[in-house]
Structure 1
Amino acid sequence: MDLDAVRTFVAAADAGQFQEAAAELAVTQQAVSKRVATLERNLGVRLFTRTPRGAELTIDGQAFLPHARELLRVAERAAASVRAGRRPLRVDVISSRGAAAGLMRDFHRVHPDIELGVVMLFEIETALATIRSGAIDASFRAVAMPGRSLPEDIESVRVIDEPLQLLTGPAHALAGARSVTLAQLIGHRIWMPGVVPGTEWAAYYDDLVAEFGLTIEATGPNFGSDALLDTIADTPALATFMGGRTRLVWPVDHGLRRIPVTDPTPVYPHSLVWHRDNPHPALATLRAHLAATAAGQDAAGTWTPGWVRPR
């Protein structure tokens, strides 16, 4: 089966228009039509129905689509199996300032000879799809969210528990505390505009709120960490949570305070996620490095949601 024709079919199915698929593939619309027509002749079925709005999948097209995607994934993995040693190890760290990025910097210091490609993907579904396609080799995630298990071909291992800290401005009621308990945070407004429903960190904070009666607000647009820091510095009524390994820099006149949270200490569980058939030799090196440097999970006096996987 012609993989170019299969790839063209998937692009057209995703775009819903041959013209958009042509632009994505950098070919002419006529080439898209010819490839799809050839594929239809080979399969003996109609895959698309032309409509005023573009092209819609027929019943046969809908049945063929998941298999077409799998064909492309298998082809990518087959190609990766012979070129893995000659390309960078590609890892998703979600954010350049978070704990995962720090883990990869440590890995690079220990193994400077391994070429790395670092990407930042937001949603776990995107990360998993990109892992399964072979576009990246691994991702750091919290797994598994309630009601959402990992696909059977995806493996994971918990690598680090990151303690949360409270970040306040200088005029906040808790700014002078050396540490705060979760009970002391009841009634205080904790503002976290980056918590998006459906993400693994939203599931984490939902459980934290439910168990300890906290007030976490995700209102307003997320303009990034700099805007968050400005607001926290200027608003005595607001505080936010920050990972203990998160690296942020703010102006001295902000007077921000990072305060340990205790009794218990909520920790965010980071896991490394990868495809079980991934052949990249450096992936095994990364896993061994993380296993050797991982701090103890589920330590006394810490809290994680019940759905978090043990190490």
Structure 2
Amino acid sequence: MHPTDALPPAEFDLRLVRYFTVVAEQRHFGRAAALLHVTQPSLSRQIRTLEQRVGARLLDRDRQGTRLTPAGAAFLPHARQLLAVAATAAAEARAAAAPSRVTVGHTRGLIITPAVQRLRHHRPEAEVHTVHLELSEVRAALFGHRVDAVVARLPFATDGLRITVLYEEPRVLLVAGDHRLAGRESVALDDIAAEPMPRLPHAEWDSYWRLDPRPDGTPAPDGPLIGHLEDSFELIASGQAVAIVPAGLRADSTRPDLTSIPLHGFAPCQVVLATRAGETAPLVAAFREAAQALLKGAGHPRSDRAAPADRPH
């Protein structure tokens, strides 16, 4: 075979390149043909065509099987690279092509409808899905690609995530309607120093929502162990405990036997958008933009004096 007989590399057929790599790995035309679901004579013809296009003999066959020629050994790693690059190119093209899809998670008491509607309006070809998550599910849902973005309240572990602060939400004290503090305009920590608060199973949540330990280092009075903040409603209504909850939970609007009281001297909680660090999907970026513009909390608009924090973790 004369080198001038070779066609330029642009004429390569990736199917032929794949056939060659399978034969090279199996070192046997019969086994390779079975894997490729082609007949052995057809495979032999395809390999000869590739050799003509390369301009060199790539494989030798004898009684022991098939072996690479020096030219074949030199060609094999490049053949594998060609196939890998082609697969990556196809995957990236599919990801960029319409229709595209994004799934947004949200935790209890947080409204994401305005941002979702804007995304659907501006990207009508996209599939935009929403799903409710418990706070304990946020990380697993993101890293398991069940969702692409989550609107949730801190605190939760943020390593490996990009966190965009959307707005701050006051924390309030939730008490029974006949509690001694019901009707107060606001309460301070001293007012509830001896009040038992339900314990949460996650140490970070428990510390944050019960203020445990207190600023002076003393432990918060223990209440019953619960799974979620919402599980405390019956305990509170029966007078067994009080609880610090986010104002957006609006428990007193669905439970007439409960009332919420503003807390004085308590830092608000932060409502954030969490995505995987390094996420570059255009739909995720578009939802982030919509969320920053529109999600500001019911009755608690975000200040326009400073842009919300946006940080990788």
Q: TM-score, normalised on structure 1?
A: 0.54
Q: CA deviation at 1:79?
A: 6.8
Residue segments in structure 2 that go unaligned for 5+ positions in a row: 1-87, 297-301
Distance 1:288 1:149, change over 3 A: closer
**What residue is the counterpart of 1:211 in the other structure?**
215
Q: CA deviation at 1:88?
A: 3.8
**What residue is the counterpart of 1:259 in the other structure?**
261
> Residue type of the partner of 1:202?
D
Q: CA deviation at 1:171?
A: 2.0
Indicate whether 1:105 and 2:124 are aligned: no
Q: CA deviation at 1:259?
A: 0.6
- Residues 137, 280 of structure 1: 8 Å contact kept: no
Distance 1:112 1:216, change over 3 A: farther
Map 1:132-281 onto structure 2 (within 5 A).
Answer: 132-141=143-152, 150-151=159-160, 154-191=161-198, 193=199, 195-198=200-203, 200-205=204-209, 209-211=213-215, 213=218, 215=220, 217=222, 219-222=224-227, 225=230, 228-235=232-239, 237-248=240-251, 249-252=253-256, 254=257, 256-262=258-264, 264-281=265-282
**What residue is the counterpart of 2:102 in the other structure?**
89
> Residue type of the partner of 1:150?
D
Residue segments in structure 1 that go unaligned for 5+ positions in a row: 1-74, 300-308
Larger Rg: 2
Q: CA deviation at 1:179?
A: 0.8
- Residues 161, 297 of structure 1: 8 Å contact kept: no
- Residues 84, 280 of structure 1: 8 Å contact kept: no
Instruction: Provide the rounded CA distance (Å) in 1 between the counterparts of 2:166 and 2:130.
Output: 18
Instruction: Provide the rounded CA distance (Å) in 1 between the counterparts of 2:197 and 2:93.
Output: 45
SS of alignment partner, residue 245 of structure 1:
helix
- Residues 155, 205 of structure 2: 8 Å contact kept: no
Distance 1:174 1:277, change over 3 A: same
SS of alignment partner, residue 224 of structure 2:
coil
Of 283-292 and 203-212, more deviation after overlay is shown by: 203-212
- Residues 165, 244 of structure 1: 8 Å contact kept: yes
Distance 1:207 1:265, change over 3 A: closer
Root-mean-square deviation (CA, aligned residues, Å) is 3.8
Q: CA deviation at 1:155?
A: 1.6
Q: CA deviation at 1:229?
A: 2.5
Instruction: Provide the rounded CA distance (Å) in 1 between the counterparts of 2:207 and 2:183.
Output: 30
Distance 1:203 1:290, change over 3 A: farther
Distance 1:286 1:167, change over 3 A: same
Distance 1:215 1:277, change over 3 A: closer
Instruction: Provide the rounded CA distance (Å) in 2 between the counterparts of 1:277 and 1:80.
Output: 19
Q: CA deviation at 1:291?
A: 2.6
> Residue type of the partner of 1:105?
T
Q: CA deviation at 1:92?
A: 2.0
Distance 1:182 1:291, change over 3 A: same
**What residue is the counterpart of 1:117 in the other structure?**
129
**What residue is the counterpart of 1:302 in the other structure?**
none
- Residues 173, 242 of structure 2: 8 Å contact kept: yes
> Residue type of the partner of 2:167?
I
- Residues 154, 272 of structure 2: 8 Å contact kept: yes
Q: CA deviation at 1:214?
A: 6.8
Instruction: Provide the rounded CA distance (Å) in 1 between the counterparts of 2:223 and 2:277.
Output: 36
- Residues 172, 238 of structure 1: 8 Å contact kept: no
Cα deviation digits, residues 66-121 of structure 1 (max 9, x gap): xxxxxxxxx9xx579616752442122132xx23xx1x123134445354322234
Distance 1:123 1:167, change over 3 A: closer
SS of alignment partner, residue 196 of structure 1:
coil
- Residues 210, 220 of structure 2: 8 Å contact kept: no
Aligned residues: 209
> Residue type of the partner of 1:160?
Y
Q: TM-score, normalised on structure 2?
A: 0.54
SS of alignment partner, residue 266 of structure 1:
coil
> Residue type of the partner of 2:176?
G
